[in-house]
A and B are shown apart, each in its own frame.
Chain A
Amino acid sequence: MTTPQITIHDAITGEIITRAINSAELAQLEADKAQTEKTAKAKEKADKALADKRQTILDRLGLTADEFQTLVG
């Protein structure tokens, strides 16, 4: 696995340094990624639950999604 890099642009000198991120920075990065994945999965689950609920109601009414949109549009 390639170690993530940080680029540092010094506005005074114009110097640009690229180095591997340190252990603290790496730990933070991994924690952020874990949180992002957790959030994405939670959103996916919530979206699916909402879609299922919507379909259940449409089935009960005997309508397709397009027919429902025509009614409310």
Chain B
Amino acid sequence: MAYTSSQVVQAVPTGINSALVYIASGTATSAASVALTNIFSATYTNYKLILSDITSTNDLADMYMQFGTSATADTAATYNSNGVAASSALANTRYNLATYNFVGRNMGTTNNYLDLEINSPNLASRTYFSSRFFSNRSAGAETVLMVGNKATNTQYTDIFFSLSSDNVGFKYQLYGYANS
């Protein structure tokens, strides 16, 4: 089979399915909102996004996620999130925010971490996610495990991150799961 140059980069060895394929990485400087645009496409159904060295201006912030297109976040109240923090169930009143997916809480000011799996953001079907968040706060650190969806059939290309207060920054690495 002949490959184009772009296909060679994304080729998966024969017999290996669902391999992770590198898409993008970088450092997002601290801002009230950070958007990673044009990261979702028809090439992959599932994605793995790792945010490391996450910074927060202040202690105790919560971390939120939204999907979007053309560098504009979808703020419609169709986000659903549920999960646990440490050994405690998260009450819906605080963590099912409708206008965001909730992915972290009780952040320290540096070195927080988010491991995120996203299903079908660029398909005309619901977008799902699961996440594991490590809070690096010295007093009252948290481990937050979340699952949820964006209950629309919009085909998203972008993802947005923000905090309940002040600015967020991070390093990111994005991979796609090869479909076959």
Interface residues of A (CB under 8 A from B): 4-14, 17-18, 21, 24-25, 28-29, 31-33, 35-36, 39
Q: How far is the CB of A43 from chain B (nearest CB, A)?
A: 9
The reply on B17 being an interface residue by CB < 8 A is: no
Judging by beta carbons under 8 Å apart, are B23 and A36 in contact?
A: no
Also in contact, A6 and B31, with CB within 8 A (given A28-B75, A33-B164): yes
Judging by beta carbons under 8 Å apart, are A11 and B35 in contact?
A: no
In the bound assembly, the distance between CA atoms of A25 and B73 in angstroms comes to: 9
The 9 closest A-B pairs by CB, nearest first: A4-B32, A11-B24, A36-B164, A6-B33, A7-B31, A11-B39, A8-B35, A12-B38, A5-B31
A interface secondary structure, majority = mixed
24 A–B contacts, CB within 8 A, in A order: A4-B31, A4-B32, A4-B167, A5-B31, A6-B31, A6-B33, A6-B34, A7-B29, A7-B34, A7-B35, A8-B35, A8-B37, A9-B35, A11-B36, A12-B38, A13-B38, A18-B29, A25-B75, A28-B75, A32-B97, A32-B99, A32-B162, A35-B164, A36-B164
In the bound assembly, the distance between CA atoms of A18 and B32 in angstroms comes to: 11
Which residues of B are found within 8 Å of A7, using beta-carbon distances?
Answer: 28-29, 31, 33-35
In the bound assembly, the distance between CA atoms of A14 and B23 in angstroms comes to: 12
In the bound assembly, the distance between CA atoms of A4 and B174 in angstroms comes to: 26
Which residues of B are found within 8 Å of A4, using beta-carbon distances?
Answer: 31-33, 167
In the bound assembly, the distance between CA atoms of A8 and B161 in angstroms comes to: 11
Judging by beta carbons under 8 Å apart, are B31 and A9 in contact?
A: no
